[in-house]
Amino acid sequence: MSTSQHDEPTPPTLPMVRTCPFAPPAEYQRMRDTAPVVRAALPNGAPVWAVTRLAEARQMLSHPRVSSNPGLLGRPSGPDDDRTDEGFLVGMDPPEHTRYRRVLLPELGMRSVAAMRPLIQRIVDAAIDELLAAGPPTDLVESFARKVPPRVTCELLGIPAADREFVDSRLRMLSLLIRDPRAPEASRDLRDYLRDFIGRVERESPDGLIGRLAARHLPTGELTAEALTNMTFLLLLASYDSPANMIALGVVTLLEHPEQLAALRDDPGLLPGATEELLRFHTVQDWVVFERVAVDDIEVGGTRIGAGDRLTVLAASANRDERVFEDPDAFDIRRSAQHHLAFGHGVHQCVGHNLARAELEIVYGTLLTRIPTLRLAVGLDELRIAWDAAFIGLYELPVAW
């Protein structure tokens, strides 16, 4: 068994900046070769254990003595001061986390999402109609990638069409790529709107996830209005940066691999596997969403972690682990990539992963079929990439057809 030292006199500082849209930081390879768990440092200099390989990442993320409670991590629990912790799944541990997650799972399970596919298809088709009507050239991020996922989530939640421009404007201010200084104000605005809307649905019982959960769980006390506010706030946040980044990066990747793109157009049955491979290949959410703390002395990958020590998973490293994925730096739509960590693992696996997968499959398949001549309007080296953002993505994606 190794000890808690790996002979690294100068621990690397996280996050590391990428230099290529198709590859994680080059240092990840060296760290992965060194050990499954290595010493690193956070931007403020605080020490952290960085998990570099897939098996050990899954072990850590499912370990019962590893917590995601922000209080234990010594950081604020949310983006603004008026939020309570009720229903805020990201910073909860079982059994509280389990109770809230159980409420959402029926709404976001495979069967429910399968029933939503025709709706998602209509939303994607309408967005492509708008794209074609405006004509080329266009920025695919602004005109398409940032439009589709929030529209799907608003439909899911039952948010009225008249309110969606307001909701979208606040989500834009909360984007981690755009970094709008009005983000705290936007967070409060969006929470206030959701609180008011939940009050309305209690009286009117409209259709949609918010209405169903309010009718089912508020009268019994299983949920409070504040918990439902936080749960739906998280669902809206999750519908913005991450899926938009995956849409844009996925389109670029497919356009840069024309033989695989042609195979995908010839055989739509390859879409689910291609989507999984794109999620693995890009891992737009890397270390930032997997910060944890050990609540007791534990062992991960043969390394002893002390109680109170911080841990983080380098998901983009784990998703390029040679021990699991053959030739991991190659993009291959026929690869079996289902074990990737793009949605996390364990009790905190993204509760909306089924919906995200369905959206991406429909987006890629429809966009590249309906606009078969889609192409980049600038060179690959001219794309403005958010190298230093918490979520890797493109600021814009100029395309033509």
Residue type, 369: T
Beta strands 310-313; 292-294: pairing state: antiparallel
51 and 300 in contact (C-beta within 8 Å)? yes
Q: Which long-range contacts (CB under 8 A, 24 or more apart) does 292-296 make?
A: 292/60, 292/61, 292/66, 292/67, 292/68, 292/73, 293/66, 293/67, 293/68, 293/69, 293/72, 293/73, 294/65, 294/66, 294/67, 295/65, 295/66, 295/67, 295/72, 296/65
Report the interhelical angle of 110-134 vs 96-108 (nearest 10°).
60
Note the pLDDT of residue 176: 84
Write the CB contacts of 81 (distance below 8 Å, at least 6 apart in sequence). Answer: none
Query: Residue 287's pLDDT is what?
Result: 78
Q: Is 300 left (phi over 0), alpha (psi -120 to 50) or beta?
A: beta
The pLDDT assigned to 8 comes to 47
Helix spans in 62-206 (H): 96-108, 110-134, 140, 148-157, 164-173, 183-204
- The Cα 251–Cα 239 span in angstroms is 18
> What pLDDT sits at residue 5?
46
Beta-strand relationship, 303-305 and 398-400: unpaired
Quote the CA–CA distance of 30 and 36 in Å, as a whole number.
11
DSSP letter at 17 equals P
DSSP state of 20: B
| pLDDT in the model for residue 289 | 72
H or E element, residue 226: helix 225-238
- Region of 221 please: left (phi>0), alpha (psi -120 to 50) or beta: left
- Position 84 scores a pLDDT of 66
Residue 20 has a pLDDT of 81
Q: Where are the alpha helices (DSSP H) in 2-147?
A: 27-34, 54-61, 96-108, 110-134, 140
CA end-to-end span of the chain: 57
In this prediction, the residues of the chain whose per-residue pLDDT falls under 50 are 1-6, 8, 76-79, 81
What's the topology of domain 75-285+320-338+346-392? Cytochrome p450 (1.10.630)
Residues 359/242, Cβ–Cβ less than 8 Å:
no
pLDDT value at residue 6: 47
| Residue of 369, 388, 387, 317 lying closest to 29 (CA atoms) | 317
pTM for this entry? 0.92
CA–CA separation, 327 and 139 (whole Å): 33
Count of alpha carbons within 13 angstroms of residue 300, beta-carbon side: 36
Nearest to 239 by CA among 164, 149, 344, 358: 149
